[in-house]
């Protein structure tokens, strides 16, 4: 049902109670992660998530959407702390005016149809904690200016058409805990600067065109729980001490790359491991991992490699207790 612009521009006056707003699948049923947005008691929190929204006369297309968003912005006398436009039918480019919301902490425009490039002036939102732009039609490169957002904790840019190399400035996001950049067209190597993100819990770079080796500095971020790099052109060996340097590992997915060498015996030490996927690569040698020491493991995919050495005990890992 169309919602009048007058109603939308007055929504900022509503105070929201603490709530958990689930992000439901909108464009793809294959999303391998859940997106949760927690609103806090913010008198200036704006959310248009209530239903897929179409503005009155929205048939006029992108220009109508742009004018509607600008009208909402014009009706706000103070900068909001949170802006949630998820699960709507917005089209067109992201308004440059977003970069002038200097008090903004939470920005969620995921699961819509926004296009164009990420505005570089979002770097002006120096208080931003969550940046969720996933599942849109955004193009171009990640602006290097975003590396100045020192308070940023969650970056979700997955399922877009972004491209180019990952900027080194991302390593300056010292507070970031989650990086989700999967399903884009990023190319080049993974910046060594990402190894400076000592608070990182999740790094998702799957389904891109990344090449080269994974910087050793990333394997030394002990806080990492999820490392997901499938479907790239990455190569090299997994470090022999991987299970010791990443003791909190829950998910390791490096499938469909060009990795070589043996699977590290030290993964026996990753006692919290839930998912291990090394399929479609060039791993070799005997499997020596003690899977009996991984009581939480429920997803193990080792298909399409060159594992085994042709001896009778190649499958002895099945006897792990």
Give the chain's domain count.
1
* CB-CB contact of 173 with 149 (8 Å): yes
Q: Are 146 and 126 in contact (CB under 8 A)?
A: no
Give the tokens for residue 77: 């006398």
Taking the CA atoms of residue 54, residue 59, residue 61 and residue 67 in that order, the dihedral angle to the nearest 10 degrees is -60
Count the alpha carbons within 13 Å of 14 in the hemisphere toward its beta carbon: 13
Tell me what pLDDT residue 293 has: 86
Interatomic CA distance for residues 203 and 130, integer angstroms = 15
**Dist. CA 3–CA 8, nearest whole Å:** 7
CATH of the domain at 39: 3.80.10.10
pTM over 0.85: no
Residues 6+ positions from 305 with CB-CB distance below 8 Å: 278, 279, 280, 281, 282, 283, 284
Q: Residue-wise pLDDT tens for the chain (321 aa)?
A: 333 333 232 332 322 323 333 333 333 333 333 222 222 223 334 444 433 433 333 445 566 666 666 666 565 545 568 999 898 888 899 989 888 999 999 999 999 999 999 999 999 999 999 999 999 999 999 999 999 999 999 999 999 999 999 999 999 999 999 999 999 999 999 999 999 999 999 999 999 999 999 999 999 999 999 999 999 999 999 999 999 999 999 999 999 999 999 999 999 999 999 999 999 999 999 999 998 889 999 999 999 999 887 777 667 666 665
Q: pLDDT value at position 318?
A: 65
What CA–CA distance (Å, rounded) separates 245 from 304? 27
Cα separation, 212 vs 229, in Å, equals 12
Cα 3 versus chain centre, distance: 31
- Which residue range forms the structural domain that includes residue 283? 5-319
Total residue length of the chain: 321
Cα separation, 67 vs 232, in Å, equals: 40
Positive or negative CA dihedral for 272, 278, 283, 287?
positive
Tokens 């436009």 belong to residue: 85
Instruction: Note the pLDDT of residue 91.
Output: 85
DSSP 158-177: -SSEEEEPPPGGGGG-TT--
Q: What is the DSSP string of 185-234?
A: EEEEPPPGGGGG-TT--EEE--SSEEEEPPPHHHHT-TT--EEE--SSEE
Q: What is the pLDDT of residue 61?
A: 56
CA distance 250 to 150: 27
Distance CA(237)–CA(93), nearest Å, equals: 41
Question: Cα angle vertex 234, ends 232, 239, to 5°?
Answer: 135
């Amino acid at each position: 049902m169309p919602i009048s612009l007058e109603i939308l521009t007055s929504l900022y006056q509503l105070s929201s109670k603490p709530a958990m707003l689930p992000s439901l699948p909108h464009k793809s049923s294959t999303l391998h992660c859940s997106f949760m947005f927690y609103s806090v008691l913010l008198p200036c929190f704006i959310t248009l998530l209530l239903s897929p929204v179409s503005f009155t006369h929205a048939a006029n297309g992108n220009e109508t959407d742009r004018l509607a968003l600008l009208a909402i912005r014009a009706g706000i006398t103070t900068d909001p702390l949170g802006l949630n436009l998820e699960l709507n039918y917005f089209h067109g480019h992201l308004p440059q005016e977003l970069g002038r919301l200097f008090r903004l902490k939470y920005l969620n425009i995921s699961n819509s149809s926004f296009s164009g490039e990420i505005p570089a002036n979002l770097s002006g939102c120096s208080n931003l904690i969550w940046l969720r732009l996933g599942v849109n039609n955004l193009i171009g490169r990640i602006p290097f200016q975003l590396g100045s957002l020192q308070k940023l904790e969650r970056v979700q840019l997955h399922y877009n058409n972004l491209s180019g190399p990952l900027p080194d400035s991302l390593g300056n996001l010292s507070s970031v805990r989650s990086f989700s950049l999967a399903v884009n067209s990023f190319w080049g190597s993974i910046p060594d600067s990402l190894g400076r993100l000592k608070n990182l819990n999740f790094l998702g770079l799957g389904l891109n065109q990344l090449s080269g080796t994974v910087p050793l500095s990333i394997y030394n971020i002990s806080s990492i729980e999820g490392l997901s790099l499938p479907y790239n052109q990455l190569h090299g060996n997994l470090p022999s001490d991987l299970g010791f340097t990443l003791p909190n590992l829950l998910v390791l997915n490096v499938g469909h790359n060009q990795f070589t060498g043996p699977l590290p015996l030290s993964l026996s030490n990753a006692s919290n491991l839930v998912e291990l996927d090394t399929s479609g690569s060039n791993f070799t040698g005997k499997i020596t991992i003690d899977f009996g020491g991984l009581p939480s493991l429920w997803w193990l995919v080792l298909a399409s490699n060159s594992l085994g050495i042709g001896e009778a005990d190649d499958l002895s890992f099945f006897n792990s207790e």
